[in-house]
Amino acid sequence: MTISEVSKKYELSQDTLRYYERIGAIPPVNRAKGGARDYTESDLGWIELVKCMRSAGLSVEALVQYVKLVQQGDDTFPARRELLNEQREQLTAQLEAIRAAKERLDYKISCYDEAIKTGILNWEL
Amino acid sequence: MTISEVSKKYELSQDTLRYYERIGAIPPVNRAKGGARDYTESDLGWIELVKCMRSAGLSVEALVQYVKLVQQGDDTFPARRELLNEQREQLTAQLEAIRAAKERLDYKISCYDEAIKTGILNWEL
DNA sequence: TATTGACTTGGAGTAAGCTCCAGATGTTAT
DNA sequence: ATAACATCTGGAGCTTACTCCAAGTCAATA
């Protein structure tokens, strides 16, 4: 699969795909003759993983570390597990922060709904 | 309340507090004689709001916009409500992204738990 | 009165994560 | 074979959100 196809499929710019590879957030992609990247299914799996994790807020650095561990072989299973678990815990904390902010937004929005009807804003600020 | 007290209380650096005020993510803080900031309860409310929203991932730009609307008076109730609602929807999307990533991490972690026991990693990439 | 310490401002610097660009090269269509 | 097009690399540039710094001011203390 060419980079333009992958770019379309995952809605990531070609620059971003090259960037992820350059810094090691995905393993190196094989090249077709001519030097153009030729993405395999496995490459696509990595890209999807990175996209998923990045959209949740994981740092690219954490992804780079993970790829490094994978490339170091099976001795790194425990280290990989720990890395993923740390990230999971961060996401749990993030979830809670978002939950709290949403609750607050909900309250404020309800105050504004009231204020728009009555012209008076209560309990706000 | 002095800036150092506020800084301690909310675990935000003095620089960050000044930064938020400078860009307008919180309204201007009154000064004591001598020019030092003297935070009121209302200021603390704003700071807490900003801290809450920032920790959930709202952009400072959105917060600046909100403060601007508040300062423009009661005619902006609908605009404020809409701004908050947009942010709320972004958080909802973010929640879903995190949920998906967590699920995936959980699966991978369970794979590694298995792999650490057996020495063999199944279904993993 | 001299100095210590907290505070001020304006502006420069930093880190993360892309994003853009130039110049080169290879592939495809005419 | 020549033009058009996709891709390549290395490096510069951009945005966001701080973070740090220098030079100055003010209040209180020795």
Listing DSSP states for A55-108 in one string gives: HHT--HHHHHHHHHHHHT-GGGHHHHHHHHHHHHHHHHHHHHHHHHHHHHHHHH
Burial string for A46-79 (b: 16+ CB within 10 Å, else e) reads bbebbbbbbebbbeeebbbbbbebbeeeeebbee
Q: What is the pLDDT of residues B60-103, one digit of tens each?
A: 999 999 999 999 999 999 999 999 999 999 999 999 999 999 99
Residue A50 lies in a domain: yes
pLDDT of A125 higher than 60: no
Residue A96 lies in a domain: no
Residue A10 lies in a domain: yes
Nucleotide with smallest C1' distance to residue A60 CA: C17
Cross-chain residue pair A116–B78, CB shorter than 8 Å: yes
Amino acid at A25: A
State the burial class of residue B17 (Cβ atoms within 10 Å of its Cβ: 0-12, 13-18, 19+).
buried
What's chain A's average pLDDT?
A: 97
| pLDDT at residue B63, as a whole number | 98
3-state secondary structure of A120: coil
| pLDDT at residue B36, as a whole number | 97
Number of neighbouring beta carbons within 10 Å of residue A21:
19
Cross-chain residue pair A98–B98, CB shorter than 8 Å: yes
Residue B80 lies in a domain: no
In chain B, the number of structural domains is 1
Q: How confident is the model at residue A122 (pLDDT cuts 50, 70, 90)?
A: confident
Residue B118 lies in a domain: no
- Residue A55 belongs to what domain range? 3-71
Report whether B47 contacts B10 (CB < 8 A). yes
Between the CA of A17 and the C1' of D4, what is the distance in angstroms?
Answer: 25
Between the CA of A67 and the C1' of C30, what is the distance in angstroms?
Answer: 46
What's chain B's average pLDDT?
A: 97
Mean pLDDT of A88-113: 98
Residues of A whose CB is below 8 A from B98: 56-57, 91, 94-95, 98
Q: Which residues contact B46 (CB under 8 A, 6 or more apart)?
A: A125, B26, B27, B67
Residue A111 lies in a domain: no
pLDDT of B124 higher than 70: no
Does B104 contact A at CB distance below 8 Å? yes
Residue A40 lies in a domain: yes
With a pLDDT cut of 90, the percent of chain A lying above it is: 96
Q: How confident is the model at residue B122 (pLDDT cuts 50, 70, 90)?
A: confident
Does B86 contact A at CB distance below 8 Å? no
Q: Which residues contact B27 (CB under 8 A, 6 or more apart)?
A: B43, B46, B67, B70, B71
| pLDDT at residue A44, as a whole number | 98
| pLDDT at residue B115, as a whole number | 97
pLDDT of B125 higher than 70: no
Q: What CATH number does residue A60 fall under? A: 1.10.1660.10
Mean pLDDT of A93-119: 97
* Phi, psi (rounded to 5 degrees) for B121: -100, 115
Residue B101 lies in a domain: no
Mean pLDDT of A17-40: 97
Mutate which: A80, A113, A121, A124, vs B, most B CBs within 10 A: A80
| pLDDT at residue A55, as a whole number | 98
Q: Rg (Cα) of chain A, in Å, rounded?
A: 21
| pLDDT at residue B86, as a whole number | 98
Between the CA of A55 and the C1' of D5, what is the distance in angstroms?
Answer: 32
Residues of A whose CB is below 8 A from B57: 57, 94, 97-98
**Stated pTM of the model:** 0.94
